[in-house]
Amino acid sequence: MEIIGVIIAGIIIGLLGKFVAPGDRDNIPLWLTVLCGIGGVLIGYYVSAALGVDATRGIDWLRWIISIAVAAILVVIAATVTGRSRTRSV
């Protein structure tokens, strides 16, 4: 994978992971969402290879679904760890 492709896929997968993450996960910054997406793409690629998903002609949907699921898990973890509150304290 090229680095530009990973970054572009990471942005898209990160936003999709944030969308499918359960609950209100809008409390993490965009840069952290992108990092979760890049991590989801890289980890998802290796997880799908470990599960025996071979590269196919055209779009490999199962690999992308695994990457989105991994990114969603990373978004949930990042939202839990950062713990940014949406309320302002006075």
Number of structural domains (the chain) is 1
Are 13 and 41 a contacting pair, CB within 8 Å?
yes
Work out the burial of residue 10: count CB atoms within 10 Å of its CB; fewer than 13 is exposed, 13-18 middle, 19 or more buried: buried
Number of Cβ within a 10 Å radius of residue 55: 8
- pTM of the entire structure? 0.74
Q: Report if residue 87 sits inside a domain.
A: no
Q: Kindly state whether residue 22 falls inside one of the protein's structural domains.
A: yes
Could you tell me if residue 88 is inside a domain? no
Per-residue pLDDT of the chain (90 residues; tens, 9 = 90+): 577 877 788 888 777 777 776 665 567 787 888 888 888 888 888 888 888 876 667 777 888 888 888 888 888 888 788 765 555 555
What is the domain range of residue 20? 3-82
Tell me, yes or no, whether 58 lies in a domain.
yes
pLDDT at 55: 67
Rounded CA separation 28/86 (Å)? 10
* Residue with token string 């950062």: 82
